[in-house]
Amino acid sequence: MGRFELLRVGVVGIGALGRHHVRILSELATAELVGVFDVDRSRARAVCGEFGGQAFDDLASLALEIDAAVVAVPTTDHAEIGCRLLESGVHVMVEKPIARTLEEADALIAAAKDRVLAVGHVEFYNPAVQALLAMGLPPGFAEVHRMGEFSPRSLDIDVVRDLMIHDLQILQSLDSSPVKRLSAVGVNVLTDRDDIANVRLEFESGLVANLTASRVSDQRVRKLRVIVPGIYLSLDYQQQEIKGYRLRKGARIRDLERLDIPIKNEEPLKCELRNFVCACNGEDVPLVTGRDGRRALAIALEVCEQIEQQRGSTRAFA
């Protein structure tokens, strides 16, 4: 895998998120935005008119001109498009979830070979998350609330694979031990898929985590609370800050002191794309790899299965 003076990058899929990928790639000094491809040609031309690059008529033509690509199409098309690009010798970052199924995720991983395959778990690149990971503290308990107002985007998947999967991946980064026990409930409110889900995970390490995700809330909440023996940490994804407290050392009575955790705020998507470009150049940077994305998907699918089993049990008693 060679090093590029200026990585030539394309974007496939110019929806709400794809447009932001184009915007940031057009600003990165280490990348050249070559162009985009979208089945909606007028949308592709419009975004190129705003940020530069060429609107290509087909995927194959774009693949011939680039070194790397961001795939921001619906989840149902991740495996097909990602594999075509990887087999063309192009590095790929595919949006989360990596694919619909584990079989499709495996196909992407196999197609990557010596190419970079990254997965767009953007919250992993949140400066507050990176600061928490850098602390290296093994959590004993975690609580996550990820709630947002209803949006017509990503309705091809449920709230677990749309929103909760961010936190499943981050929990895996905090604690790499296997999940030994899982219970979950979910409900569909405005769509025919689960819009609200609550999950309890127990890891082999002893970590217990409670997660709630909703895409039909009246407010936007993005918080992760972590308990380590003697330490309490509250991470706010939106504010990119961590409030921490610990028992004061040497105190005669139990007394808390504030932990000062410096964080330099930055747009997570920009961090993610910058790291992807660096990884394509062989640099060792924090990255959600294809295997990381597959592991997050595996737990998400197990959560969905548990929800269906719980729903079946509820019907049985109705």
Residue 233 in tokens: 């940490």
Name the β-bridge partners of 181: 202
- Second-level CATH architecture of 124-266+300-311: 2-Layer Sandwich (3.30)
> Is residue 144's pLDDT more than 70?
yes
| Pairing mode, strands 179-187 and 31-37 | unpaired
User: pLDDT tens-digit profile of 223-237?
Assistant: 999 999 889 999 999
Parse the chain into domains and list their residue ranges.
7-115, 124-266+300-311
User: pLDDT tens-digit profile of 78-105?
Assistant: 999 999 999 999 999 999 999 999 999 9
Mean pLDDT of the chain: 93
pLDDT of residue 112: 98
Cα–chain center distance at 275: 14
**CA-derived radius of gyration, the chain:** 21
- Second-level CATH architecture of 7-115: 3-Layer(aba) Sandwich (3.40)
Mean pLDDT of 49-61: 97
- pTM greater than 0.75 (yes/no): yes
Using CA atoms, how far apart are residues 246 and 276, in angstroms rounded to an integer? Answer: 36
